[in-house]
Amino acid sequence: MKFLLIASYPPSFLSFRGELLAALARTDLEIHLAAPDFVNHPEAFNQLKTLGYQLHEIPMQRTGTNPIADMRAMLSLYRLMKSIKPDYVLAYTIKPVIYGLLAAKLAHVPHQFALITGLGYAFQGAEEQGYKKSNLQKLMHQLYSRALASAQKVFFQNPDDEALFRTMGIIKPEVATKIVNGSGVDIAEYSVVSLPTKNHVPEPRFLLIARLLEDKGIREYAQAAKIIKAKYPGTQFDLVGWIDDNPNSISQSELDDWINERVFNFWGKVADVRPAISASSVYVLPSYREGTPRTVLEAMAMGRAVITTDAPGCRETVTDGLNGYLVPVKAVDELAAAMETFIFNPELLTQMGTASRQLVEEKFDVHTVNRAMLEAMEIL
């Protein structure tokens, strides 16, 4: 039997779905991977080939709304499915879900699944009072609804996203859904490391890892860092991330200003986030909304306290006051106050870091998450 996994970014097969693919491979399924732009990611391509997966290039644009280009992507996926005849299709992120499942419906794939890992621009403002859809949002919602109508099951990474899709009528009552605890994290690979110390006492050092998008809360992180550094000049703030072609990205000049002002130490894009997490004691993610943020889970697995927002996806990772703090979205003063709590009470770094690790072991272990998905797809 054959399993086709569709993505919009080849390295994500390894970074986010590597353990899921390994679990699928152990079931003796023949695994096919479809994504655009393998040529620009030769390391991921070679590693995936070495693992024995069959790779297929598709002409899909990660961003943008060119209807001709999107139609080409769907037709390419349709032809691929007619050629390899997969028994299962699973797609994640917006374009693979929409065009992958529409193609799967046309190709009469027996088992079709979608994984909603986050909502992005298509749902920006959807929960605000007086929300009015743009024409683009109306189109995306209609496409989502048509694509998901034929899904055997739709996986969500938090209950808020599932409830929103139901409320907006994007998922029909007869379509089955299942909530899973994010993408999970390998608790063996992300093991607990000692906190940084000063004079033998745990030292508050703050870290954010993210694509440098406005809705990741990058600006709020920078503003809160300025407030804290004005009071406690020696406090360390780190930022790991990069600017990509997303229209929601911050500008290079804005990033340069923060670096020149020494608001934080900028690591850039890194292949392995563990050294950055090891150098920190508090992980901060002031995001406006997530599926379930993988970087938070990685930091928790390594025994770090967390400050994040009381927003969908983010709030799933923190029990307020136990392993960190939840603050309102876009609330810079509250974010800075939560940071200051660790400066006043450094003993919380150890206590909350221990609680983070325990929560990950109980709820977010990648093998537990993957087992739940495979059982829901009736593969196990």
Q: pTM, whole model, 2 decimals?
A: 0.93
What are the tens digits of pLDDT across the range 216-225?
Answer: 999 999 999 9
Q: Categorize the per-residue pLDDT at 130 as very low, low, confident or very high, splitting at 50, 70 and 90.
A: low
Q: If you average pLDDT over residues 371-378, what whole number do you get?
A: 97
**Hey, where are the domains in the chain?**
2-184+365-376, 197-364
The distance in angstroms from the start CA to the end CA of the chain is 14
Q: If you average pLDDT over residues 356-365, what whole number do you get?
A: 97
Residue 129 clears pLDDT 90, i.e. is over it: no
- Dihedrals φ, ψ of 89, to 5°? -130, 130
Assigned fold of 2-184+365-376 = Rossmann fold (3.40.50)
Q: What is the pLDDT of residue 273?
A: 97
Q: How far apart are the C-alpha atoms of 301 and 138, rounded to whole Å?
A: 39
Structure tokens at 181: 């605890």
Long-range contacts of 144-148 (CB under 8 A, 24+ apart): 144/94, 144/97, 144/98, 144/170, 145/169, 145/170, 145/171, 145/172, 146/102, 147/97, 147/98, 147/99, 147/100, 147/101, 147/102, 147/105, 147/114, 148/97, 148/101, 148/114, 148/172, 148/175
Q: Do domains 2-184+365-376 and 197-364 have the same CATH topology?
A: yes
Class of the 197-364 domain?
alpha beta
What are the tens digits of pLDDT across the range 141-157?
Answer: 999 999 999 999 999 99
